[in-house]
Structure 1
Amino acid sequence: MPDGTVSTTFAFRPDQQLSFLQTGRRINPQRFALTYAIYRSVYAAFVGVPVFLDDQDDHNHYFKFNLNYINLYDLIRLEEDGSPYKAIYMNAYDMLRRTTQQHGNPHFNMVDRALKGQDIVRDNETVTLLNLWLWRARRDYWVDLRGKYPACGTDRACSPIPVNERAIPAVWRRRWFDRDRRDRLHSSVLDGALLWFDAVDRTAWPA
């Protein structure tokens, strides 16, 4: 921060540290290649730990999955094919994918295609989801689907809500489960493009 304080730490995120260094190595190998190699030898075995912990709750703080897909995408695609570490990274990604595969998120599907290649079922689903996106409202109206979809928790549907009925995400998202505390905001990353962030929320406050 401008005043010298620390606002974010990656101390317990070896996956994110390695992803940043992986990108740095690609852009400026003279500066980052050795650092990445050292960090990889020490931390690669632990890449799956924070991903596993994030997977234990597939609903709250959903932006964590957006970040995990973004970080693992670069970490995997920029790793040499003959590297033994690539399999470790893919194991972490496979855990993430198993948790989110049924979430109806075309962005996640396209990352999966980039890493794993063509899959006719997944790719057809992606086209369908993007077409449904075009039917979404263009205004940020209050959404309440509690009488339409079965509940599996407070304001949470048992299965993903169709894309065309989901509330419109925003860069700053209100805490939907704390409706008496509308002043409390938290940031999300790219959720305007990711379509799922509110997929199992049956009510949503406009941003």
Structure 2
Amino acid sequence: MDTLHGPTLTDVVTIVVPQREQLQARVHDTASTWIDLLLLSAPRTSWAQITRMQVSVQFAGAQGLCRIMGHLAHRPQDAHLRVVGYGTGETLRFEHRGHIQLLRRPALVSAQANARIVVLRSGARDHVAVETRCVAIGGAELRLAGLPFAAAGQTFGFDLFLDPREPAVSGELLVERRDADGFVRATLSRITAHDRSRLVHWAAEHSTRRVA
């Protein structure tokens, strides 16, 4: 099994407070035994309670959806501060022992979508680029609408637009089959680790299934 890696700088992660709440945070700094997290949402759990509890940090990337267990505390440089309340915009230290648990492999991370995608048949000189919709996005496959000409075994280059403000996710897909509802199911046959990480992260953020 490949070595699992923790979240990297600027990654958006989820702090899971068991049976209470889930908080969004951005990675501000990292070391081998801790991660500094900038809170993007305001906690409902009091500081006294949350520092006595074991919490987890969930994060997504090319390796799939992962979790690491630990505790929240102040950073050493903030230890002298008197805490009256805490919330959005504050940076907390997540202390852990480095054990990363894989919750779902990329193939098992997926979510419904309605994203713009442009596809072009690989190796076909007379084929033109077609714009259609991607109705499901996962770490290993996509489901596409509006490709009546696509057949099992064909490959297509693609540009998938998850966010109009960001570059497209690009790669190559292999058509596996056409489902009973008419949508084309295709596996990702060529994609960079960075772009696969973007797909897994997007799918994890938009999935209705959460891991507690």
Using the size of structure 1 for normalisation, the TM-score is 0.24
More strand by share: 2
- For the pair shown, which has the larger CA radius of gyration, 1 or 2? 2
